[in-house]
Structure 1
Amino acid sequence: MDLTEVQNAANVGLVCIICAQRKDPNTPGHICAVVPETVTHQATR
């Protein structure tokens, strides 16, 4: 899935989480919830 597909899934009510790994495997990555877009708040891709 690409980011647009994940955002579209969140927009229709699915729970979506993104996990990102850093280049250095010895440091923690990043976890983020994808929330639905609104008319005034659109995701940046």
Structure 2
Amino acid sequence: VHPKSYMKFKDKLRVLTSRSRCGSIVKAMKRIEISARGWLNYFGIADMKS
């Protein structure tokens, strides 16, 4: 995985887990799960081809 892609994902997680975001922990975990699953599915396939 390219470092730029990894950093972009980490930045997105920082936004999703920001202390300034209000809402329930359950909703935050669901958003993180959706983002992580999509990222892992995309880059998991990319790593398999190389």
Greater per-residue strand proportion: 1
Q: Which category of TM-score, normalised to the shorter sequence, fits these structures?
A: under 0.3
| TM-score between the two structures when normalised by the length of structure 1 | 0.27
| TM-score between the two structures when normalised by the length of structure 2 | 0.25
